[in-house]
Structure 1
Amino acid sequence: MPTPKTARTRRALAALTAALLTITALLLAGATPARAATTPIYSGTGWKAETAAGIYSLSPDPYTVVFADTTARTKLAGYFTVPAEQLATAGIQLTVSTTIDTTTATCPTRHRIVVHYTYRPSGTPGMSQARPCHDTDRSAWGGHLLMDTEYWTSDTWFSTNASVNETYRKNAVTHEIGHILGLDHPNYDRDKDGTVEPYECVVSNAGWTPVLCSPNGGYRSTTGAGKFLTAYDLAGLKQLLANYYLRQT
């Protein structure tokens, strides 16, 4: 004749059942990131890969900033220090050299970023331009980065406040670096009016938009000027670097 379960036995069985359910939930939760980690990702909050330019990943090999002429080097070299240091923290190697590269090729030597100081490179007032290239494996190759001279020849191009004006210049240079390394504008229809508009990007709690936001974004503080937003642009570049390996599998 079966013996009735005691209260202690019932409590032990309940505890065992709860433990098994917890273990199962943990195993299922762990399986999801593992699957996601094996798949390249091309967009996220505040960032978007520049797939329209053929770039789907970022190589772990070093990239080097060079200059089209001595004027570009004198005017712009200092603007690459902050983003280069920040990229290094994400495992992305960007070296700022003093090299002059006068190549006229559409795509320069692999992993070279040729910087130009040019009046209205796109033909539109106040618009700088990045001309990224991609490798055969669809990783960022390098390219030409053309900064509009108007930002510097006019002391009040962005603002009558000199400090604010310089902040915008720094962000503009970093914006174009982001394009060369594989980031597109992350604008989207945030207000859901059916149109993706200028400055329509995700906004941080502090009020900042991604530095890649079109036509311009980034930190508006002197301490943040020239930096990629960590949660947006930098997160995207880290993912593009991860994509390099994920696309090999």
Structure 2
Amino acid sequence: MGRTLGVIAATIAAVTFLTGSQATAQQATSSTLTMQGYGWKLTDIVGVYAISPSETYTITFETAAMKARYAPYYTEALKQIRDAGIHIEIGGVEPVDINQCGPKNHIQVTERYRPVGTPGWSKGVPCPWQPQGLGRGGLVIYNSEYWDGSWYISKANLHNTIVHEVLHAMGLNHPNVDLDGDGTVEPYECVATSYGNKPIMCSPSGGYHTSNMGKLVHFDVSGLKALLANARAQGIS
């Protein structure tokens, strides 16, 4: 049976799942666990800060049309995710209830009009409050505005957004930081490579805006490796 999902905060693609009783679930306290680093951050605010080094995560879709639409955008990113040590694959079609976590280790993909109520925004969230913070999959809801002509999104931003939301469901958060020291963490305020490339998880409009669009920047790969390291630090193999 899936856990009931609800609103917690706007920090992870605007929305994530939670119930009041789950809010007391334990957070990571061990000094051996790392929740953020240079250019990356984990979703420990919803009790997800690790990922299985051995189990396989499967991206599934609500309809065959959605699989045909979105799966091609994942190709390069999935290679990088696998190279980081995470087992992940493209699956098939299954029902999606946006108010419930899906089957174990499934990242379910669907579409809705303005899923967080904000024009142009999509939503990606992990199933929250997991034992030992071990991610068990999550939900991605892409904004149908990208396809119906009511919201313009550039080719690069579209590629990056589609991957960005899946990484949310795996356990990565926005790594925005107060670079200018004004006391406020602002949109676009993220570290960058010497070439000016910000993490694909930067909010908004992170990632490459070149032929590498849709690929993870090395900051994002470091975040995925931290999820694996947190699992191993807790004896999860």
Q: Residue in 1 aligned with 2:144?
A: 149
Equivalent residue in structure 2 for 1:106, among 100, 111, 126 = 100
Please say which of residues 124-133 and 144-153 is displaced more in the overlay.
144-153
Counterpart amino acid of residue 33 in structure 2: P
Q: Residue in 2 aligned with 1:192?
A: 181
Q: Name stretches of at least 5 consecutive residues in structure 1 with no aligned partner.
A: 1-37, 159-164
Q: Residue in 2 aligned with 1:130?
A: 124
Q: Name stretches of at least 5 consecutive residues in structure 2 with no aligned partner.
A: 1-30
Residues 71 and 117 in structure 1, CA contact (< 8 A), matched pair in contact too: no
Residues 80 and 174 in structure 1, CA contact (< 8 A), matched pair in contact too: yes
- Is 1:221 matched with 2:210? yes
Aligned pair in 2 of structure 1 residues 80, 214: CA closer, same or farther (>3 Å)?
A: same
Length, aligned pairs only: 204
Q: Residue in 1 aligned with 2:235?
A: 248
Q: Residue in 2 aligned with 1:74?
A: 68
Compute the displacement of 1:128 (Å): 0.2
Q: Residue in 2 aligned with 1:179?
A: 168
Q: Residue in 1 aligned with 2:24?
A: none
Please, what TM-score do these two structures have when normalized by structure 1?
0.77
- Is 1:210 matched with 2:204? no
Q: Deviations over 1:210-229 (max 9, x none)?
A: 1111122001112x111111
CA distance in 1: counterparts of 2:49 and 2:168, whole angstroms: 12
CA distance in 2: counterparts of 1:247 and 1:63, whole angstroms: 20
Counterpart amino acid of residue 197 in structure 2: W
2:133 match: secondary structure = coil
Q: Which has the higher helix share?
A: 1
Compute the displacement of 1:184 (Å): 0.8
Residues 81 and 96 in structure 1, CA contact (< 8 A), matched pair in contact too: no
What RMSD over aligned residues (CA atoms) do the two structures have, in Å?
A: 1.8
Residues 66 and 110 in structure 2, CA contact (< 8 A), matched pair in contact too: yes
Q: Residue in 1 aligned with 2:114?
A: 120
CA distance in 2: counterparts of 1:209 and 1:152, whole angstroms: 26
Same amino acid, percent of matched pairs: 37
Equivalent residue in structure 2 for 1:96, among 78, 90, 93 = 90
